[in-house]
Amino acid sequence: MNGIPSLFRQPLTIALLLIAVLLVLGEQLSPGFASMQQILRLLIVAALLGIVAAGQNLVILGGREGIDLSVGGIISLSAIIAGNLMNGADAGIPLAIAGCIAAGAFFGLLNGLGVTLLRIPPLVMTLGMLGVLQGLLVVIRNGIPSGRAAPILSQFVTQPVLFGLPGIIWLWIAVGLLMAFLLRRTVFGQRIYAIGSNEHAAIMAGVPAARIRILLFVLSGVFAAIAGICLLGYSGSSFANVGEQYMLPSIIAVVFGGTSLSGGKGGYTGTMAGAVMLVVLQSILTTINIEESGRQMIFGATLLVLMLFYGRGRAMRT
C-alpha cells in the first residue's frame, strides 16, 4: 500500500475510477450504455439515491453505530402521501411537500427519541420503525397504487430545466453544497464530528449530544421524504414498498464514499460518487439480466465486505 500514491487510496478517487471502469464495461456489454443520454438517465436515478444517502450520511457520521433502516418506509409513505395530495394536479404540490416533510420529520423524531431517551440501539430502533411503516402502508392502501404525480413535478424530475439538466440533478447539487457547508462551515457540523469521534469527550466539552443525535434522525427522515416526493415524479404514481430498494444502497453509498461506520470521519462528496457508482453497477446487472433478488444479494454482500473492511479500520483506530 505504501507504494500507491495517497490520491489513489482515497475513497472518492476509488469510486470515480470504478465509475469510469463500469461505464467502459457497460459500453462493451451494451453499445450506447455510456452515451450522454444514458448517463443523464443514470444521474437522475443516482440523484434519488444520493438525496436519501444525505440523511443516512448524517446519522452514520454521528457515531454510536448510527444507521437508519427506516428510510425505505419513509420514502414509500411520502410517495403515497404526495400522490394522494397531488392526484395529478399542480395545485396540490405545496400541501404535498409540506405533508411529506412533516411525516418524515415526525418518524425521524421518533427514531431519535428512541435512540437517545430509551437507549435503543439505532439498528433495532429503525428496523422496528420500518416494520411500523410497512404496516401503516398496508393499512392505508393495502399495496394498491393510488394517486398521481403532478405534471410539474414529473417535468422537474425527468425533463431538462437548465443547461440541459433535469431539476432533480440541480436539487442534488444543492443538497451537496448544503451538506458541504453544514459539515465543514458550521458549529453544528463540528459537533457532529465530535460526537461521532468521541461522544463522552464531546459531552464533557459541553456538546448537547442527545439533541444533535435526535436532529440527525429528523434530518434523515426529511431527506427520505424529499426523495419519496421526487420518486413519485420519476415513476408517475405511488405504491407500497417502492422505497425499499433504497435502504441497502443508501448505506453502501455512504460507506463506500469513505464515511466510517464508527462515525466521526467522512463527508458527503464521496457519498455522491458512491451513489453514482452503485447506480451504474445496478444498470449493468440489469443489462446482463440479473433479477432484483440477485441484485439485492450482491448489494448485501458488498455491504458485508465494506463493514468487515471498515470494522478492521475501526479496531485499528481504537
Amino acid at 46: A
Single out the residue of 43, 15, 11, 34 nearest to residue 172, CA to CA.
43
Q: What pLDDT score was predicted for residue 138?
A: 82
Strand-pair partners of 165: 162
Q: What pLDDT score was predicted for residue 312?
A: 44
Residue 54: strand, helix, or coil: helix
> How far apart, in whole angstroms, are the C-alpha atoms of residue 109 and residue 101?
12
Burial of residue 236, with CB atoms counted within 10 A of its CB: 0-12 exposed, 13-18 middle, 19 or more buried: middle
Give the dihedral sign, CA 263/255/6/1: positive
| 153 φ, ψ (degrees, to nearest 5) | -65, -45
Q: What pLDDT score was predicted for residue 8?
A: 52
Q: Mean pLDDT for each 10-residue chunk of the chain (318 residues)?
A: 53 79 84 85 94 95 88 93 89 94 96 93 93 86 71 92 91 95 93 90 90 95 96 83 86 86 86 90 81 74 66 43
Residue 135 C-alpha cell reads as 404496516
| 138 φ, ψ (degrees, to nearest 5) | -65, -40
Contacts of 260 (CB under 8 A, 6+ apart): 60, 266, 310, 313, 314, 317
Note whether 48 and 246 are within 8 A (CB). yes
Q: What angle do CA 46, 253, 24 make, to 5 degrees?
A: 60
Contacts of 119 (CB under 8 A, 6+ apart): none
Residue 107 C-alpha cell reads as 418518524
Q: What pLDDT score was predicted for residue 264?
A: 83
